[in-house]
Structure 1
């Protein structure tokens, strides 16, 4: 039994069902990446795993117990969640926002501690935002803000970490830094991480366990080297491609099919060089 799982999970927004009767086991101690086309239910599923969305049917289980039956504080101590579009309080500084990740560990008789200070400092160093500690969050660029939110999630120090598109707003160098950090946290801290990503090649490179979704259901799951095929990409994304070995990692690398190119203009038929006869009256 894995610590975090879903059984018969049905999720809906009003009358529109997005995920229907989904079963999912999140492997302990792995980096699980969920991929799929837009509106397939991957972010909705992640929100339910973090109890931000109440299931219409079925349940999300933590250590065998339904999340709906567990105290909020206990969940916050076990599951850290970075949603897709978090909102910061107006005028809050970077340091104060990251420190809010420690709230689940606070009690009325136990306020700020050395452990809290260490967790916040380490999280800010890992995400390269320590120099921004006194800056208001709303003055930062999109990429800087994203790294601050990740720092807050890291400061929470949960054993399970859920990240919804954490590379949004980041340039390619910072995308790699963030995903390297995720893998390092998994390796060094033994954290179980679930990430939603749009980039299939990044997912294949960083996932230990890959989940491919389409239309609210799981189409395939397993190690990327076993499930990422041209047939799967065509089924899930409707994309013709070639899957080749990644020259750096040896894992699967998806190369899209031939790009569109304009058709060449039609050839002009050759003109007759013989002069027309002269008509006489």
Structure 2
């Protein structure tokens, strides 16, 4: 955990036990999210990646342990105050039928509204800037239902950005997107991290995408324990992948970025039976001549 000479990160968790109904997903789980990092959580299915993210966002109450946000227990904040400090993009988001892009993004200003504070020029500017950052400003009057999957993900991300928080939690932001739109969304997140100084925490399935975009990796095992964490170049090894995912592989340098690239081992190949001359054996049956 954090040393005495280093300030505690804005978002951290200590000794968490996380459960759904009566099923325990993780026990004694502790993580520190480095400030201004692009942290990616990876691991096998059902290991607790999304569960951990929900606990960090106060969407799931731990059975034991505590999540801390800006030095205080996250449970001590009111919901509106949490939303002023961190933004969450859930795994599955559904927009109300017929709502336009501009109106949906404007909902990100809800934490800043109140009985005595109505819609202002500041709110309008925040919405416009969020749409500009994500490249959807020209779609403001379009119904969300008419957009492609990649465009919709950008709109949802715009709504989170309109909250104007510097902590962004993204639960599988590339789910159901084709590869081009996956790269588009992750490039945008990387830009927000690099140019705007956002702390980004994302759950991803693709190990190579995780290594390409992350500055900090958290690798989870089945049972909700931490297998390793740190910079991708320090963490991602063939031994780790086989141990955690059960997949023999090689780790090489990505020719585009120099980051670790996981290449699965080739499947065992079975040679065809050959004749004495070395050619593939002929078929035993002969097709009848057409009549």
Say yes or no: TM over 0.5. Answer: yes
Residue pair 2:150, 2:182 contacting (<8 A) in 1 also: no
Alignment check: 8 A CA contact 1:146 1:169 kept: no
Task: State the secondary structure of the residue aligned to 2:126.
Answer: helix
Aligned residue for 1:156, secondary structure, equals: coil
Any unmatched runs of 5+ in structure 2?
1-7, 278-291
- Per-residue Cα deviation, 1:110-157 (whole angstroms, up to 9, x for no partner): 222222222211222222222322222233333322221111111111
Report the counterpart of residue 29 of structure 2 in structure 1.
22
User: How far does residue 193 in structure 1 lie from its aligned partner after superposition?
Assistant: 0.9
User: Structure 2 length as normaliser, TM-score?
Assistant: 0.87
- Post-superposition CA distance 1:188-212 (Å, at most 9, x none): 2221110111111111111111000
Q: CA deviation at 1:265?
A: 3.9
Give the greater-gyration-radius structure (CA). Answer: 1
* Equivalent position of 1:230 in the other structure: 238
Cα deviations by residue, 1:44-70 (Å, 9 ceiling, x for unpaired): 110111111111111111122211111
The structure 2 residue matched to 1:5, chosen from 12, 18, 33, is 12
1:107 alignment partner, SS class: coil
After superposition, the CA RMSD in angstroms is 1.7
Matched, 1:53 2:26: no
- In 2, distance between residues paired with 1:141 and 1:260? 40
Instruction: Provide the residue aligned with 1:43 in structure 2.
Output: 50
SS of equivalent residue, structure 1 residue 18:
strand
Q: Do 1:95 and 1:134's aligned partners in 2 also have CA atoms closer than 8 Å?
A: yes
Aligned to 2:99: 92
Match among 155, 168, 175 for residue 161 of structure 1: 168
- Structure 2 distance, partners of 1:112, 1:168, is 33
Query: Deviations 1:4-38 (Å, cap 9, x if unpaired)?
Result: 11111111111111121100000011110001111
Q: Distance in 2 between matches of 1:127 and 1:236?
A: 35
Q: TM-score, normalised by structure 1?
A: 0.90
Query: Aligned with 1:112: secondary structure?
Result: coil
CA distance in 1, matches of 2:49, 2:147: 28
Matches for 1:142-181 after TM superposition, within 5 Å? 142-181=149-188
C-alpha distance in structure 2 between counterparts of 1:234 and 1:141, whole Å: 36
SS at match of 2:105: helix
Unaligned runs of 5+ in 1: 271-281
SS of 2:26's partner is: strand
2:197 match: 190
Shift of 1:260: 5.6
Tell me if the contact between 1:143 and 1:169 (Cα under 8 Å) persists in the aligned partners: no
